[in-house]
Amino acid sequence: MTRINRNFLGREGDTTVITFSYPCINSSEKTGEVFLCIDAIVKEAKNVKADLDEYIEQIAQHVLESLG
């Protein structure tokens, strides 16, 4: 995840989620990729004192929204 974050987004360190959205040729639909770093998600949930299941659910909602 750290390598993807650096190589594609120019950011250092790990992160919980990275999404890439791509337009489909000859269509109004979108496609994309989602990268999740479970270790970073668990760490972040602990840092904000959140229930892990609820935190993962929030991340999933944000990912779906970002892909449209």
DSSP notation for 2-68:
HHHHHHHH---S--SEEEEEEEPTTSS-EEEEEEE-HHHHHHHHHHTT--HHHHHHHHHHHHHHHT-
pLDDT of residue 35 exceeding 80: yes
Q: Which domain holds residue 17?
A: 2-66
pLDDT for 40-50, tens place per residue? 999 999 999 99
Which tokens is 66 given?
Answer: 């970002």
- 3 — pLDDT class (breaks 50, 70, 90): very high
Q: Is the pLDDT of residue 37 over 70?
A: yes
CB of 18 closer than 8 Å to CB of 35 = yes
Report how many domains make up the chain: 1
pLDDT digit string, tens, across residues 8-33: 999 999 899 888 888 778 777 777 88
Write down the pLDDT at residue 26: 77
